[in-house]
Amino acid sequence: MIEIVQLVKNYKSTPALRGIDLTVTRGELFAYLGPNGAGKTTTIRILTGLARLTAGRAMLNGHDIITDSLAAKKQFGLVPQHINLDHELTVSENLRIHGWLHHLPGRNIRSRIDQLLDYIGLSDQRQTLVKHLSGGMKRRLMIARALMHEPQILFLDEPSVGLDANIRRRVWALIKKIQQQGVTIFLTTHYIEEAEFLADRVAFIDHGQIVALDTPQNLMAGLGSWALDQFAAEQMQSLYFHSQPEAKQYAADYHNGFTLRRVNLEDAFLALTGKKVA
């Protein structure tokens, strides 16, 4: 559904993407992780026509984003990082305008709005002005808006940023529900546990290059199963072990503070890049 070949993007003399190769299959939930400035949002902006590539090529469901741009744009819905709903319109009106922009017939727009509001659990808010919605409701509405024209691909750029843990989990459940309907999802996030929980595969990007690509389970297994965090001289160092007894045996001889826990996806990212995702 998404094919990227040697994608390069330069801003004047500054490289943002340095030859990205990537393939995302139909129905896959693919997470794209990296620190600030790594090239995540630049990649999405290029794929969605908001920025122009410097070199390389990209296809969305078989349509080249440059030579067949109109057909390519019909393949996706986009949920940007920042809320860009019209706050002076109602929930229903925001969806209706998006339907008009995609030239959907009026009767289709009405039925699609009903379907989507029920789908995201906002049927009782259809006549509410967007400015009166909570942050979590606005995020769900943005996802519904992106789905109005029934796209094959959904780009989610930081879909749960700024939400508390409980609302974030509700958004996660909605994302998995969308994937189960056969939609291909391309996700960027600073919440690494979000990618660990949701994604079928994960790519780590740093300095405009992909440094690792695999399932979350395989990326974590490359380190081990257990992490021992040592605290000394205001520093923390993590050591990794393949078994809990092995980790405990090491900890028995260590007299400063430590924490024993399961390895997570952030450990894998730190080991590969030396940086935190956020």
Tell me: pLDDT of 268 over 80: yes
Quote the pLDDT of residue 266. 93
Position 237 in a domain: yes
Position 228 in a domain: yes
Tell me: pLDDT of 278 over 60: no
pLDDT digits (tens, 9 = 90+) for 219-235: 999 999 999 998 876 77
Quote the pLDDT of residue 255. 64
Position 110 in a domain: no
Q: Mean pLDDT check: name the lowest of 168-172, 185-189, 230-234, 265-269.
A: 230-234
Position 10 in a domain: no
Position 11 in a domain: no
User: What is the pLDDT of the chain when averaged over all its residues?
Assistant: 93
Domain encompassing residue 233: 224-262
Helix or strand run (H / E) with residue 267? helix 265-273
Residues 6 or more apart from 199 whose CB is under 8 A from it?
Answer: 29, 30, 31, 187, 216
Quote the pLDDT of residue 191. 87
Quote the pLDDT of residue 164. 87
Tell me: pLDDT of 276 over 70: no
Tell me: pLDDT of 64 over 60: yes
What would the mean pLDDT of 195-220 be, rounded to a whole number?
A: 96
Question: Residue 181 — very low, low, confident or very high, per pLDDT cuts 50/70/90?
Answer: very high
How many structural domains is the chain composed of?
1
Tell me: pLDDT of 137 over 90: yes
Position 253 in a domain: yes
Assign residue 190 a region (left: φ > 0; alpha: ψ between -120 and 50; beta: otherwise). alpha
Question: What does the alpha-carbon distance between residue 214 and residue 258 come to, in Å, rounded to a whole number?
Answer: 30
Q: Mean pLDDT check: name the lowest of 56-60, 169-173, 174-178, 255-259.
A: 255-259
Quote the pLDDT of residue 231. 80
Position 248 in a domain: yes
Tell me: pLDDT of 257 over 80: no
Tell me: pLDDT of 122 over 80: yes
Tell me: pLDDT of 161 over 90: no
Position 80 in a domain: no
What would the mean pLDDT of 156-179 be, rounded to a whole number?
A: 90
